[in-house]
A and B are shown apart, each in its own frame.
Chain A
Amino acid sequence: KQEVTQIPAALSVPEGENLVLNCSFTDSAIYNLQWFRQDPGKGLTSLLLIQSSQREQTSGRLNASLDKSSGRSTLYIAASQPGDSATYLCAVIDDYKLSFGAGTTVTVRA
């Protein structure tokens, strides 16, 4: 059974600092990995999808890396802003489903 872990559970940084969010998974036989953002009381917004053949994916200030062999993915958010405050979830796609971590709740202080 796939186990997905996100550390730390919470993070607070001053505006402008770079964010580093970690995701680890136990079974490296995955298809893809997807990062999501969740605002309080809202659904999940897809940020990036990294295919298993890729090592990284970029979108604007966001960059996600994937190392299947070590079972790790990292989401980097450059020059954080207060609007980046949210919970960030990673999901591993294997077999037919997404398996989620518990998320990292980020607070960016103005």
Chain B
Amino acid sequence: DVKVTQSSRYLVKRTGEKVFLECVQDMDHENMFWYRQDPGLGLRLIYFSYDVKMKEKGDIPEGYSVSREKKERFSLILESASTNQTSMYLCASRTGTGRYNEQFFGPGTRLTVL
């Protein structure tokens, strides 16, 4: 059974803290994605990666960075968390061999920044 896992389901951090969200997939997928989900705004792409050490900005990269040192792991980093980064964060992966392939999602991390 294919799987995308995220390090935490719920996380509470304080303003100014550095926050790491980890995502691991076991499907040997080339592509991995980080989204944030907010009510009324749907899913918005933060960053994606199409290969190890490769990354591209999505629609809302400001305040975030990413790291992909291994194919199966994609990390989202909030350098200095702010209250407006309180949100649900979703990781996804997708094989790179065809545009028609779906993305597989993890369970999400609900981050609260106080």
The answer to whether A and B assemble together is no
Residues of B within 8 A of A (CB): none
